Amino acid sequence: MNDDYKRIYKLVKTVPSGKVTTYGQISDKLKLNNPRLVGRALHNNPDPKSIPCHRVVNSKGGLAENFAFGGAITQKELLEKEGVSFKKDNVNLVEHLFSF
């Protein structure tokens, strides 16, 4: 596993239940300048039980159609179980966006 992936996983672990972050925020925080790299790392998540990649959404609060562990429907179900609310199909970022 490369060092960037390790840093991404470590940061994602800090996002609390009921909150979300974005690929871009993670990329900015880690000075990666590559939100797609964040997406690739999360798609290859080696431990979804301890690395909550379902808490990462796009900049508009959209879910990952190719969410590695069951698609957008599963991602939405996991977030709803944590109390995350939605406006149409997007996470309500006003209420649930986590800032590092």
Set 53, 64, 79, 84: catalytic member: 53
The SS3 assignment for 90 reads strand
Contact 98, 15 (CB under 8 A): yes
Residue 87's DSSP bridge partners are 90
Contact 52, 59 (CB under 8 A): no
19 noted as active-site residue: no
Phi, psi (rounded to 5 degrees) for 69: -120, 40
Catalytic residues: 53
